[in-house]
Every structure is written in C-alpha cells, then in structure tokens.
Amino acid sequence: MNPVYVMEQGAVIRRSSRSLVVTKDDSRILQIPVIKIDRLLVFGQVQLTTQAIELLLEEGIDVSFLSASGRLRGQLVAAVSKNNILRLSQYERANNEQFLVMTARSIVQGKILNGRALLRRYSRNHPESEYTKELEIIESVLDGLLRYKSVARLMGCEGVASAAYFRAFGRMFRRDLQFAERSRRPPKDPVNALLSLGYTMLTNEILSLVVAHGLDPYLGFLHGIVYGRPSLALDLVEEFRHPVIDRMTLNLINNKVLESGDFVKTDEGGFVLQPASLRRYFEFYENRMHEPEGRKKSGVTETIRDIARGQVRKMASAIKNGTHYAPYRFEG
C-alpha cells in the first residue's frame, strides 16, 4: 500500500467498483484498486465524487486536501476510533502538571538531540565546517533541561537551541540556494519553502496516525491548546524535523535535485515549487520515507514511516499508563 498523489488540475476522482479512477477531459489518467491505497493526497482544483468519498470512508482511507503549492487545507478521515478510554486518559494527563512537563521535556530533548546528531554527522563528513559555538549552546541547553519545571520555560529552551541549530544549518548549503533564518507564511526563500512543505507533509502523516490510534490530535503536551491546531501531532513531529525533513532538504539542494529555477515567487513575497518540480519533490519524499533508517532489536529493518507508527504507539502507551515517553533517536 502506498500514498496516491493527485496533482493534475481539473481532474476528477470517481469510483469504479472497488477502484478509484482519475480522469481529466474524458481521458483516463489513473485507475487503482483501493486495496493498494494507503492515503490519498489531493492538490488544488481536483474533484472527488460522492461515490468515491463513500468508498474511501468505507475502506478507512484518509484524504488530505492541499493547495496546489502543498499547503494543507484539511483532511477527510473515517469514523473516529471508539477508544474513548484512551482519549479520557489523554484528557486526564493533559491536566496533570507533572505528566505534562515530563512529556514536554522528553519531546524537547528528543528534538534537540536529533538536531545535534545531524550537526555532528555533517561536521564529520565535512571537516572544513565549524559548528563549535552552536554545539556548545545546544549542549548548555541540554544540560539545563532538568532544571525547568514549566512548559513555557521548556519552550524557551527549545527556542534557544533551535536558533543555534539553524545558524549552523544555514552553513551546510554548498550551492547557490542559501538559508539565513527560518521564515514562514510566506517562506521567504526556496530553502524555507522546502522546509515548510516537508514539515506539512510529515505533520499530515502523523496526524493520520494519531487519529487512527484513537488519540485526540488537538490535545498535546508541549504545544498548548489553540483552536484548530493539531497540537499532539505537532508534538510528535518535533523529533523527526531535523533528521528527516532538514536532512532531505540538504540533499535536495546540495545534490542539485532542485535549483533556483524550480521555484517561483508568489504575490505575497514567498516561494513555492513549480508544478513539475513539486512532483519531483514528492517522488524524493516518498523514497526518503521508504528508506531503511534503523533496526529493531529483532534485527528487522525499519523505515521512517515504520518508526513514526511506533512512536505514536509509544505515546499512546505513555498516556494510557502515565509513563515516560521516549522519543525517536537519530543515530548521527
């Protein structure tokens, strides 16, 4: 089973027995049995018939609706899990200050450790690079995490470490496309456009996993409650940002998979990928998500998607039992 991306503007997705058929101007673009579909991602002006939606819901296949440039607009998901006991535990843990701070600290620590691992790996591969100052700041933040007893202070620590990390990250690019600082809505340069797109894709995947496991995606521990924000999904994304999306972005730019001509500037002053380049990006993204990334104790090789599923299960277990959550560790 694999995700299916439909990006052809003006296309229509219809049902044909137990398959989906994508057409445009009476020409068939794709026909695929739903048994082979993991998720459906729809970009821009693409229509789904009622019959197609019914089949997707019946099969428990999530549909993500994104703008033509890749910004998430919303999701269609099957019926919410009946695991109300787990969600009740989640609400109780969110009101338990000790559990809240413990879990938020684990999330922050996991993100910072994985960022440090990426800097160390790049430094080993490129001895001419110098990140000593930034690594010292990150080490200082890590050393002080246990002292802080509130989520607000932990968020402040994460901000200091993130600023140091991104200063070093900007010096990892060896091509014409450069990165100075993180910018969002709109992303003010092509590198930021790739980071934002990648983070959106990853959040979308983890949001679906969170819902499938019966958790409330809008009730997190590090990210507070804000109307409409999938805080728990964002919590779980943190440990994957640097080793998955940032690392992939470096590869795309430094290996010249994407160059300045692949981007266009928007009326708002941001940057987005050209349609053909966006297709190439998603091919690269899917390959990255399917790459072997680590091994279980049993010796079985895992992909990033396998690891993400495992991390959602770990979070569900921590919530259910009131125990420590152990983030994914990138072995730099």
pLDDT for 131 equals 86
- Residue linked to tokens 């894709």: 201
Identity of the amino acid at 234: L
Among 108, 143, 54, 70, residue whose Cα is nearest residue 236? 108
Per CATH, is 84-321 categorized as 1.20.120.920? yes
- The pLDDT tens digits of the residues spanning 69-124 come to 777 788 887 766 667 889 999 999 999 999 999 999 999 999 999 999 999 998 88
- The pLDDT tens digits of the residues spanning 299-317 come to 678 899 999 999 999 999 9
pTM: 0.85
- For residue 252, pLDDT over 70 is answered with yes
Per CATH, is 2-76 categorized as 2.40.50.100? no
- For residue 129, pLDDT over 80 is answered with no
Are 262 and 277 within 8 A, CB to CB? yes
- Cα–Cα distance measured from residue 219 to residue 186, given in angstroms and rounded to the nearest whole number: 26
pLDDT for 81 equals 61
DSSP string, 206-250: HHHHHHHTT--TT--SSS---TT--HHHHHHHHHHIIIIIIHHHH
- Note whether 2-76 and 84-321 share their fold: no
Q: Which residues pair with 37 in a beta bridge?
A: 2
Identity of the amino acid at 178: Q
User: What value does the mean pLDDT take over residues 161-171?
Assistant: 93
Provide CB contacts within 8 A for 186, sequence distance 6+.
266, 268, 269, 270, 271
Helices then strands, each counted (H, E), the chain: 10, 12
Q: Quote the DSSP letter at residue 49.
A: -
